[in-house]
Every structure is written in structure tokens, then in C-alpha cells.
Amino acid sequence: MPPIRLSEWRKLPLNLTDLCIETTLRCGQSFRWRKIDDEWNCVLYGRLLSLKQDKTHLHYKVVSSTIIPPALTATAPVSVKDEANNLPNDDTEALIRHYFSLKHDLTALYDQWSKSDPNFRKKAPKFTGIRILSQNPWEALIGFICSSNNNISRISQMVHKLCRHYGPLVGHIGDEAFHDFPTPQALSGKKVEAHLRELGFGYRAKYIAETARIISEEKPEGWLESLINPENPGWCSTKMATATELPTYRRAHEQLLLLSGVGPKVADCVCLMGLGWDESVPVDTHVWQIAQRDYKFGKTKTKTFSKVMYDSVGDHFRKIWGKQAGWAQSVLFTANLKSFSEHGSDKAEVVDVKVKLEDIENDISTDKSTTRSRKRRQIAVMETIKTENHTPTEAVRASKRRKIRS
């Protein structure tokens, strides 16, 4: 495989309808992208990437790299011809195509969902170019364990701390250091939990350390990758464990629930954004708001949320949107976030819904040390959206005192 070339801007023909990185990288899928000036930066598989976008192209370059590119398991070219000098290229373009799931015709999908759903047809024109990222399953797993009872800004801070303290340094942009995501082995040490608590992870420290230990010590190599949807292969060199049965969305979801700190919503997030199960619909309080407000979900006016209701909401949306329901859900989820209200002339409606957190996010350990915390998290709470890069209004300041429970 040709070596990765550094510091050369290259471009892919992509308009903002096909992909909008300004929206896709900010809507709570990945928590490691950092924007410096007009460029988005992140380490993916040992290479520090910079991205920027205009109306007709996605521009990208590799700032630094520490490893040889991993074997490509997705169906994509290993080498591409450079338009300018016709020299053999590395596989960075293939990685970008994979990461942003560019094999899917987004315009056709939006048309399909608009025909079957009047509400989507109303909201979608202001939120084009939103794609589901094809992330590393391990990174998605830990990132969404951090998302429990949290907001995008704080999740991003936690993930940054994980990378800075436990991930390998790949390069710098100015004075900012960029690290790759830590391995399960790096997060499974005996002192990891205590250190993460010192760093402000709270009860999530136990879940991260325990899940890392399970993955690195109890599960066979490639176990997590064996849950990947074969129709959406991953990008990795990890040997997949031999599966005893064919992978399905339901089986992947059930297996993830066996891990520490993983409840139904976290499992669905990992299925959708880490394992390629496009029909997965993560249901948190925001999505429950959408289901009640826009789809008149449920025969009663109850705002109590249970595991049965969780499954019913997902099935309802799968019936409306089809095989890639998770993609459609992400568009409406983003449209519901207050930080994206500038996308349209109509101000985003903030709906406060009291939700009893029973089994929607079953991320609470049965350990006695967390019993009191569990009881506190199960009370009815007011839900107000907080997102990164948003100037607080009085409503949002008030929400900070209440803390998000999603």
C-alpha cells in the first residue's frame, strides 16, 4: 500500500446536500472532532485529518500519521489516482468515504422519507446533508457510555481526556495536541477507574474500566467487530471472532446490553454509529419528545417512559422510515436541538417533557455503591436541551441547575 502523504489538500466533489460536515460533526454522533478556524480536525486510525468544505467540495488532508493504514474491509478502492499529478494515492479518500457512509444516496433517502412522512418532509429542507458516521465500534461504545446523563459539550470533554491520558499522540495543530482513541487494554488497568474519577467521570469511570476489562480479557479478539452488519463492513485490521450465529441487529443489541454501563439507548447508538445497523433508532428524551409532539405517539397522555414504550417508539419509526430508520431519526433529532435553530427562520421549539427514567437508559450498576445515585436518576426531571457552542439563555441556565437526564 502506498505511504500516506502529508499536508496536501485534496478534494472530493460533494455538495452540501450530499454531506454537511458542519451539522454532521456537531449533532452528537462523534465527540472528538475539534474545529480550528474553518477546519475540522480529528485522529482516525492513526492519522490526523483536517477537513473543510465549500458548496461543491469536501477538502481534506493528512496532517500527521503514526501507523501504516489498516487493512480495508469495506468495499472501497485501496488506491486512487490524484487528479492533479496522476500519482498513486493512499487510502485516505477511501477512509473518508467509509467514515461518512458515502456509498448511500442521501438525496434518494431524503426523498423516500419525505414521501412516507409529512413531518420529515416539513423539517428536512432545513437540515440536508446529515449522514450517519461509520465509526470504530470500540470508540462508539465508550463515547456513548460517557453520554449517559450528559450533554454534548461535557461528553466531548470526557472523550478528550480519555484520548489525552490514554491514547497515543499522533500530532499537533499549532499548540493543540491530537491523540488517537485509547485501546481496551489501555483502559483496563487497575488504576484506571480511580484516575477517571479524579478526572471528573463520576459513576461512568466504573463502567468504562469494567467494559474495557471485559472486552480485553473475557471476550475473544474481534468479538465487538463480529457484531458489525455485514452489509456495512467496518474499517479495521482486527480479526473478527468466529460468530456462532449470523449477526443481526437484535442480536447485536442484546450482546451489547451485557456490558457494564450499556442500556437500551447506548446499545442502539453503538449499533447505529459503530456497527452499521441502520435500522437502529436510539430513543432518548429528545426522541420521545418528537414521538409525542409530532407523531402523537401513544393512546394516552402519560409521559412515563418504560422499556416497553422504548421498543414501541423504535418499531413505530422503523415502520414509517424503513430499513434506514436510524438515519431519518438523526435528521429530526438534529432539528430538535436548540443549537441548530439558526438553520431556519422558525425558532426551534423547546419542549419540556417530564420523563421517568425507568429502563430507557439502564446504565446503572447493581453495585451497592451506586444505589442512591440510581434512585436520584429515576425521579421525574425536566428535560431542556444543552449543546456545545451555544450561548446560554435564561432557560438554558436554568437547565444547568436541573442537569440533563437522558
**Interior CA angle at 369 toward 364 and 375, to 5°?**
50
Give residue 238's pLDDT band: very low, low, confident or very high (50, 70, 90).
Answer: low
- Cell numbers describing residue 236: 479495521
Mean pLDDT lowest among 218-232, 256-270, 295-309? 295-309
Distance between CA 304 and CA 355 in Å, rounded?
Answer: 6
Structure-model confidence comparison of residues 402 and 3, the more confident one:
3
Stretch 228-253: mean pLDDT, rounded? 80
Is residue 272 predicted with pLDDT exceeding 70? yes
Stretch 250-275: mean pLDDT, rounded? 97
Q: What is the pLDDT of residue 207?
A: 98
Stated as kind and residue range, the H or E segment containing 263 is none
Is residue 289 within 8 A of residue 270, CB to CB? The reply is no
H helices of 214-306, in order, are 249-256, 264-273, 285-295
Distance between CA 248 and CA 123 in Å, rounded?
Answer: 31
Q: Is 42 helix (H, G, I), strand (E, B) or coil?
A: strand
Distance between CA 243 and CA 254 in Å, rounded?
Answer: 14
Looking at residue 119, its amino acid is N
Distance of CA 96 to the CA centre of its chain: 16
- Cell numbers describing residue 366: 447493581
Distance between CA 138 and CA 226 in Å, rounded?
Answer: 12
* Neighbouring-strand partners of residue 11: 59
User: CA dist 127 to 18, 151, 286, 313, 384, Å?
Assistant: 11, 21, 17, 22, 21
Structure-model confidence comparison of residues 15 and 67, the more confident one:
15
Give residue 127's pLDDT band: very low, low, confident or very high (50, 70, 90).
Answer: very high
Q: Is 50 helix (H, G, I), strand (E, B) or coil?
A: strand
% of residues, the chain, pLDDT over 70: 72
Contacts of 296 (CB under 8 A, 6+ apart): none
Give residue 236's pLDDT band: very low, low, confident or very high (50, 70, 90).
Answer: low
Give residue 337's pLDDT band: very low, low, confident or very high (50, 70, 90).
Answer: confident
pLDDT 10s digits, 20-42: 999 999 999 999 999 999 999 99
Give residue 304's pLDDT band: very low, low, confident or very high (50, 70, 90).
Answer: low
pLDDT 10s digits, 175-202: 999 999 999 999 999 999 999 999 999 9
Distance of CA 15 to the CA centre of its chain: 23
Distance between CA 208 and CA 191 in Å, rounded?
Answer: 12
- Cell numbers describing residue 216: 480485553
Distance of CA 238 to the CA centre of its chain: 21
Q: What is the pLDDT of residue 348?
A: 37
Is residue 137 predicted with pLDDT exceeding 50? yes
Mean pLDDT lowest among 52-61, 337-346, 361-370? 361-370
- Note the pTM of the prediction, 2 decimals: 0.79
How does the average pLDDT of the chain come out, rounded?
81
Domains (range + CATH), the chain: 285-402 (1.10.1670.10)
Q: What is the pLDDT of residue 213?
A: 98
Stretch 91-96: mean pLDDT, rounded? 94
Is 11 annotated as catalytic? no
123, 265, 338, 386: the catalytic one is 265
Phi-psi region of 202 (alpha: psi -120 to 50; beta: other; left: phi over 0): left
Looking at residue 347, its amino acid is K
Structure-model confidence comparison of residues 118 and 374, the more confident one:
118
Give residue 169's pLDDT band: very low, low, confident or very high (50, 70, 90).
Answer: very high
Is residue 369 predicted with pLDDT exceeding 50? no
